[in-house]
Amino acid sequence: MPITLYIVRHAKAEDRAMFMADHDRRLTSEGIIAAARMGRYLKSQAINPTVIVSSTAPRAADTARVLAEQLGQDPAQIRLEESLFDGGPKAYLAIVNALPGEVQSVMIVGHNPDVSYLAEFLTHQSLGSMSKGAVVAITFGNLDWAEVSGRTGSVAFQVAPKQLSGSE
Domain limits at 142? Answer: 3-164
Domain count within the chain = 1
Q: What is the dihedral of CA 111, 129, 5, 61, to 10 degrees?
A: 20
In eight-state DSSP terms, residue 27 is: B
How far is 24 from 8, CA to CA, in rounded Å? 19
- CATH number of the domain at 90, please: 3.40.50.1240
| Predicted TM-score of the model (pTM) | 0.96
Question: What pLDDT digit, counting tens, does each position of 71-123 carry?
Answer: 999 999 999 999 999 999 999 999 999 999 999 999 999 999 999 999 999 99
Question: What pLDDT digit, counting tens, does each position of 115-153 carry?
Answer: 999 999 999 999 999 999 999 999 999 999 999 999 999
How far is 22 from 58, CA to CA, in rounded Å? 10
